[in-house]
Amino acid sequence: MLNEALRLIRVFHDLNQKDLADKLGISNSYISEIESGKKTPTLEVIEKYATVFNMPSSSILFFSENLNNGENFEKTRKHISNKVIKILDWISDKSVTQDAI
């Protein structure tokens, strides 16, 4: 679920794939392949995400683990991560709708 975590982080920060690719110094097609799950990002790419979004890479991985294995965490953490996912999905849907306008 690392691909989904990275997509949700990008959408939360209101960036399209091209803008993020420019900030990360990688190709837009690579971003697309990562987010679709066709490719797994390297640790170097995860570090670039962490730098761009001003967050520890461990937080990105923790968020990804929560998406993937919520049942393995405390009840409170699972509840919070589910709420965050719903909020980020809502933002993602709203962003897609606005892009269509």
- Report the pLDDT value the prediction gives residue 68, as an integer from 0 to 100: 59
CA separation for the pair 96, 23 (Å, rounded): 21
Quote the tokens at residue 26.
Answer: 């990688």
- Report the pLDDT value the prediction gives residue 43, as an integer from 0 to 100: 92
Query: Each residue's pLDDT tens digit in the chain (101 positions)?
Result: 889 899 999 998 999 999 999 999 999 999 999 999 999 999 999 999 999 999 999 889 888 877 755 555 456 566 677 778 888 888 888 766 665 55
| Apex 42 CA angle, 51 and 3, nearest 5 | 85
64, 2 contact by CB (below 8 A) = yes
- Report the pLDDT value the prediction gives residue 22, as an integer from 0 to 100: 96
Q: Which domains does the chain have, with CATH numbers?
A: 2-100 (1.10.260.40)
> What single letter denotes the amino acid at residue 19?
D
